[in-house]
Structures are given as structure tokens and as C-alpha cells.
Chains A and B, each alone.
Chain A
Amino acid sequence: DQQVKQNSPSLSVQEGRISILNCDYTNSMFDYFLWYKKYPAEGPTFLISISSIKDKNEDGRFTVFLNKSAKHLSLHIVPSQPGDSAVYFCAATSSGYSTLTFGKGTMLLVSP
């Protein structure tokens, strides 16, 4: 049973435009959500997180939005740059949970 779902395997965006990556979850116990970026031949890199007491968190070009009622979160990248081309993983956990659960990832391609 997949508790964290990233339904889009890939996304293509032009440089300078907005990239929106989506993530859905099913476990209502999750109260922390994180996004990681992964380049080929490297380990994932932590990008940004949000706790369930917030609905938005910003860090530079990256903003994560959380809609608890819909069990949905999204990562917005504005403006997108070619260096943002990577696989993006959504992950979720809770203070009372033993694991950090990842989605399957979305490959973002930003073209010049």
C-alpha cells in the first residue's frame, strides 16, 4: 500500500517558468513533509520541509504548499532553471512514526 504518491513520473518545463510538483498521501498520522532533489550518481539532497501546523513554507525559489484536508502537497519552483533538472522525491513522517516514507519520484526537466 503506497502511502505517499507522486503520480507524475516526469514533468517538462521551460526555463523561467514555474514548475509544480505534486504529492498525495493517505496516512493521516503524517505531520511532517519533506522534499528531496536527486541528481544521477548522487544521493538525495534535502530541499525544504513543512509541518502540518502550516500550509506554506518558502525558501528562496522553492515553496511548499500543504492542503491537509485533501492530503495533498505541492512544490513550486519559480523561476525554474536548467540546473533544477533532477528527480524530486516527496517524503512524509510523523513524530509518532518510525519511518520516513518516500514517494517514487518525479523527474523534472527544465529546458533552456
Chain B
Amino acid sequence: EAQVTQNPRYLITVTGKKLTVTCSQNMNHEYMSWYRQDPGLGLRQIYYSMNVEVTDKGDVPEGYKVSRKEKRNFPLILESPSPNQTSLYFCASSLSGHHRGYTFGSGTRLTVV
């Protein structure tokens, strides 16, 4: 089944403790992105990647890192999480660009206390 898989689905952590949210897609898509969804703010792009080793900042990249060492994987790294990073995170992939329509994962609910 074609899908984007994120793990974990739920995570509660403490301020300052490094964490990684994994994302994997099995569709051989070029583009991958991370979004966060917050009440009243909609979906905001954190980082995106156009291909292996090519990444760029979205609208809200502060406090996040990403890497794209393999085409299928695009992990999101929070080196020192803070409470304002409590959010619902979505990973997404697209065959060849933002305009082609993204396939989204099911989301990761992160709480930083």
C-alpha cells in the first residue's frame, strides 16, 4: 500500500531532551515536507526536501533540523524541544513538487512539558 509512515503517533517529552520523529514513504517520491498544525493557525511548513541531500526552510524552521540521506526517509529532529513546539506534526511526500499534491502521514502528536 502506498503510504507515508510517521513514528511515533504520540510523544510526551520534557524541555531540552532531543528527539527525532521519523518519516518514511514507499512511493519513490522526490519531494518530502514537514508541517505543523496548530489551532487557529492551520498547517505551516517547517522544512521541505526536493531530493536526497537537498533541503530548504519552510515558513517556521526555527528549532527544527531535518536530513535527507535516503530518498524514502525524512526525519524531523528537535535538538532542544521547548513547550512552544507542542503541536501536531505531519510528514508528506509528493512525486515531483508542491503543485502535484502531497500524500500525508497520519500525524505525530507531540507534547513538550
A interface, CB within 8 angstroms of B:
32, 34, 41-46, 49, 51, 89, 91, 93, 95, 97-105
Contact = CB atoms under 8 A, between A and B. Distances in A.
B29 to A, nearest CB: 13
Contact of B40 (A91, A99, A104): A104
Interface stretch (B63-71, B79-87, B104-112): B104-112
B14 interface: no
A93 B58 contact: no
Contact of A103 (B42, B92, B107): B42
Contacts, number: 60
Interface residue tally of chain B, by bracket? 20 to 34
A102 B42 contact: yes
A34 B99 contact: yes
Contacts of A93: 98-99
Contact of A100 (B4, B56, B98): B98
A46 B102 contact: yes
